[in-house]
């Protein structure tokens, strides 16, 4: 969120500095572990229309961002494929119903076995029905974060890593213990903001990255299942990210055996060649969420906080950043998304 805020604010004429308590790799951040799916329709299975609306607007912005960051960014808009094994085919109806009542029904296209085979030849003959969701994409966080950092540096943004900050008031930060004044402060600390925002909570998510040259996908594939729906995202270099659990647990202590079994067995059930893949990484982190699981921009004079991105930080960050930047220019929330703003009197 912080990188994306700097991207839009620097563009609109501000001079930005980023203070980050971790190191340049950002491996400790929630954003490092994410799948990076840009899925405004599929996410409606578990959230409300607001996320779909923000997400569709954000997808338009992602297209321009990806073009500006260049072809080395691992970004694609090849849609998503949603499948279920024949024993779980009721899940497809349940999924479509949930997406439809949240306003995203027009994004789903029912596909036959032949169409699935054409979209994903690696799955030929394995699934007889599903949905193709054309207007979705994905960005690899491990590709995006360094490329975006380099881009921002070229645009004049300064980075201060290993620098702990805390908020003194709406125009002062304590930076490594020393108070400094700023024209605007944008708080994008994720769960690190919990000291000032007691209703924020962490929702644990676990992922596994595997490597195999035996399977290739053109797009993220979601496998619906009554107990543990998963997605598999193809990455470069024969890598696949399998994700993600969503557990109301704030111990970011790694991947449990149960989650590992569920993620890997679902992948194996999608394609048996995943059985021979190498496990490259098991990882977890906590999604920052407010009680309503929706993003909020809180405004207190010149201090703006963008937080609660929960399961949708990649999808939403550009749109939230643009909303921030427009508020700073006009002093008013946009009419369309006024509900995400909380402006202190
Ligand atoms: C397993 C998993 C899968 C996910 N998959 C997806 C997905 O497919 N698509 C999607 O859209 N979203 C996904 N998400 C959600 C997404 O990752 C989050 O919504 C997003 O990363 C939140 O970003 P953030 O910038 O708010 O927080 P963070 O990424 O945690 O960034 C906050 C930064 O603030 C720094 N910080 C904190 N406190 C301080 C301080 N006091 N001083 C200085 N710096 C500080 C931290 O070090 C950190 O770098 C997933 C999340 C998980 C866990």
Same domain, 123 and 148: no
Is residue 81 within 8 A of residue 120, CB to CB? The reply is yes
Same domain, 147 and 285: no
Q: Using a 6 Å cutoff on CB, does residue 197 contact ligand 1? A: no
**Cα of 37 to ligand 1 centre, how many Å?**
14
Please give the residue range of the domain that contains residue 246.
80-134+201-289
Same domain, 44 and 158: yes
Same domain, 30 and 148: yes
Same domain, 63 and 85: no
- Strand order, beta sheet including 201-211: 109-112, 129-133, 80-84, 221-224, 230-234, 239-243, 201-211, 278-289
Same domain, 231 and 96: yes
Closest residue by Cα to atom 12, ligand 1, is 312
Task: Give the span between the Cα atoms of 42 and 35, in whole angstroms.
Answer: 14
Same domain, 101 and 241: yes
Confidence of residue 227 (pLDDT cuts 50, 70, 90): confident
Same domain, 155 and 209: no
Same domain, 220 and 278: yes
Same domain, 184 and 159: yes
Give the mean model confidence (pLDDT) for residues 97-122. 97
Residue 159 placed within a domain: yes
pLDDT, the chain, mean: 97
Give the mean model confidence (pLDDT) for residues 246-269. 95
Does the structure show a pLDDT above 90 at 129? yes
pLDDT of residue 178: 96
Question: Domain of 257: which CATH number?
Answer: 3.30.9.10
Cβ-count burial of 143 within 10 angstroms (0-12 exposed, 13-18 middle, 19+ buried)?
middle
**Cα of 311 to ligand 1 centre, how many Å?**
9
What's the structural domain count of the chain? 2
Q: Using a 6 Å cutoff on CB, does residue 30 contact ligand 1? A: yes
**Cα of 309 to ligand 1 centre, how many Å?**
8
- How does pLDDT run across 170-191, given as a tens digit for each residue? 999 999 999 999 999 999 999 9
Residue 304 placed within a domain: no
Residue 75 placed within a domain: no
**Cα of 310 to ligand 1 centre, how many Å?**
8
Same domain, 63 and 166: yes
Question: Domain of 184: which CATH number?
Answer: 3.50.50.60
Residue 117 placed within a domain: yes
């Amino acid at each position: 969120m912080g990188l994306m805020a700097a991207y839009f604010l620097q563009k609109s004429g501000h001079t930005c500095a980023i203070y980050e308590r971790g190191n340049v790799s950002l491996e400790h951040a929630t954003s490092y572990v994410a799948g990076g799916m840009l899925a405004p329709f599929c996410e409606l299975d578990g959230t409300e229309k607001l996320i779909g609306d923000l997400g569709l607007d954000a997808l338009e912005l992602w297209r321009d961002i990806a073009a500006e960051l260049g072809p080395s960014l691992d970004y694609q808009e090849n849609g998503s494929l949603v499948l279920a094994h024949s024993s779980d085919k009721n899940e497809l109806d349940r999924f479509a119903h949930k997406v439809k009542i949240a306003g995203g029904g027009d994004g789903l296209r029912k596909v036959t076995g032949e169409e699935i085979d054409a979209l994903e030849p690696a799955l030929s003959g394995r699934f007889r029905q599903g949905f193709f969701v054309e207007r979705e994409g994905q960005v690899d966080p491990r590709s995006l974060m360094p490329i975006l950092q380099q881009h921002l540096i070229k645009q004049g943004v300064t980075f201060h890593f290993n620098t702990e900050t805390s908020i003194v008031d709406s125009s002062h930060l304590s930076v490594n213990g020393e108070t400094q004044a700023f024209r605007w402060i944008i708080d994008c600390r994720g769960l690190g903001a919990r000291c000032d925002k007691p209703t924020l909570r962490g929702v644990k998510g676990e992922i596994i990255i595997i490597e195999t040259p035996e399977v290739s996908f053109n797009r993220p594939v979601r496998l619906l299942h009554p107990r543990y729906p998963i997605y598999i995202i193809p990455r470069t270099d024969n890598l696949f990210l399998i994700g993600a659990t969503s557990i109301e647990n704030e111990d970011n202590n790694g991947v449990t055996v149960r989650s590992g079994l569920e993620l890997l067995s679902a992948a194996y059930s999608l394609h048996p060649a995943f059985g021979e893949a190498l496990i490259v990484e098991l990882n977890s982190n906590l999604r920052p969420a407010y009680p309503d699981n929706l993003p909020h921009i809180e405004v207190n004079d010149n201090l703006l906080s963008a937080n609660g991105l929960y399961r949708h930080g990649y999808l939403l960050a550009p749109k939230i950043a643009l909303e921030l930047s427009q508020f700073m220019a006009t002093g008013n929330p946009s009419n369309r998304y006024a509900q995400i703003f909380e402006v202190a009197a």
